[in-house]
Structure 1
Amino acid sequence: MGLFTKKKKDEPKEPAAQVKPVQVQDKGDDDTESDKAVPKKKSLFKKLIILLLIPGILGGGGFFAYTKFFSGSGTKDSRVYLPVTLSHVTLPQEMLAFCFARMPELYDALVAYDGEMDLFEAEIARIDAVGTKYPDQERIADGQKKVWDKEMQSLKKSFEKLEKPIKETFVLFQVNPTAGQEKIDQTAEEMLRTAKEALGKAQEQTAPLKKAMPKAPEGLVKGTLYKIKKMFL
Structure 2
Amino acid sequence: MGRREELQVNLHRVKARIDETVHRCSRPEGSVTLLPVTKFHPVEDVEILYDLGVRAAGENREQEARAKAEQLPDMDFHMIGQIQSKKANSIARWAAAVHSIDSEKIALALNRGVALAVQRNDRTNPILPSFIQLSLDGDPNRGGTPLEQVTALAETIEEATHLRFDGLMCVPPLGWDPETAFSQARGILSGLEEHFDRSLEFSAGMSGDLVEAIKHGSTIVRVGTEILGNRPLA
Common fold by TM > 0.5 = no
State the TM-score, normalizing by the size of structure 1: 0.23
Structure with bigger helix share is: 1
Instruction: Report which of the two structures shows the higher radius of gyration computed on alpha carbons.
Output: 1
